[in-house]
Chain A
């Protein structure tokens, strides 16, 4: 029999930590925080494990968050995957797989999903060569494991995360071959001064990154991106070039590609041993999709995200989503959404929640969302250049399915991500299409001249992460 609890929080990043801490403070019983990593913190507050020399104390804000869950009122199940989420008789069954003695099943009256996001894949010819990695992976390597991903590194992507990565790489002694931003210089930034006002911590972070880059002689090349990579067994050269016209994002939104980007476009060759791709993030919607709440395509996110009410409840009673898993908003949006979702869960569980408490959180959240919207407007994740892809470019890395195979399936009548999956096996591998789903959708949009959302979403299938067969079965029988 599954153990019954009042609240399960899935994901111990900023949103999940804030939600669990807030829930404990509100006096909810048996709050359980489940996280796949060995230490809480998620991607943003990632803690370096002691065996990798993680002796640095987390800073004050992180300490407070961790203190919020480091008490009897919150049970942390670390190193534990949630592979299934099933609505059942007004509650939710969570299927877990973790270290020995971790319960395999929980029955939660309310659930807050805080699954975060993953790097948006940005395929180009040569992107499967060793030495090409996502910006998120490179940041984790250099910041938390104190490992330089390479010696001569090219950054290609968009937005401020690239600047943070550039600074860490330079500080750690890497040579940067360049920082390319697929979007034009954000001339219109001044229009957003109001929303940026007060965000001093983040402005300081950005400013320090730019200063570090200037000292190292590294500038940003706007409206540029990597076009292809070559090398014998690993990346040796990157070919870079213009990312398209000023209106690249708008053209792509209409199902068109940026001008002038065709396979083999002339470009400038840069010797590198590492390429980091930072084309934004994708919300991790696998569990919310599996639970069956409604999702809608959001143009600004170029992704499907769960539909939520003003209390962050999905279209399923008692199921809340907070943070990047409901659309990329960043750490501060996630923190406030976590708190708001906890207030919502408390109310759903019949607790008295003072209205002024909710309005205070609402206010703080609104400020953070305004800032996140500025970043969305200035650095749209528009840089997927389906036009660059050659027929031999691998799109689905799990099953090694090429662009050519997918184009053939399109010629034979496939129009959706699911149809491509059935015909070519793209998305049938271990990652269940997390890594190729958006790329297939972008390719379909280009090949068929259809809007991105017309490709639909890959049907969610449990287990949402691979689980050993034995791990599906309850502990007492194992």
Chain B
């Protein structure tokens, strides 16, 4: 195991202590609260390359409607990084094992950003385990001519601005404090896991062809203006997934960006729970 003894950010009012579940020997940190716990339709949320260790307002809204489980990826938040995690194939097997560990036969799978990439890979290899797939501002596709900006070679202070379209100051509770050594170390550790997975290549060239294997209905969620994922990527996801529709979460006061679940938690949760309930009603 790598040396990821992460400290809790603590300072955010949204911090909660995680629960743990043993997944094939790996102690996975996860969060699961709300009145639907153990009862509503099982829904697994895969986070992006950050915003870990928190119980987000978006999660709280989701948990009112579904049985909402938010595990942390190996090498993120409170889940250690085992040395066998080298690529997305390892994560696909890991998340299949996690579904087994929770005894979820089928789940509504939601992936945000990097989590969207992982969710799509899981759906490609184990389509029978998905009741529905929701991809919020996902990365991972190669769309020729429309590469993403290089997150790995960017002044760190620019990244929040890019996620929230220049309004990072509105969301201090969701950002790591750059003056807090442990917070910076945590951010660097998670970025290192992200690099391990996606430094080169920064997409899965084969994903475009393989997305056709996903059988369930899919929802792709876009913001008003994503400064990280070019518009053409959203169009490509919807075109390549066999049964997908595109919905936008609009900003009430300002245009939403890549971090739309933080910016508009009510609207995002309402949209996604409606989609999940439609699938439940239909099946």
- Decide whether A and B are members of one complex: no
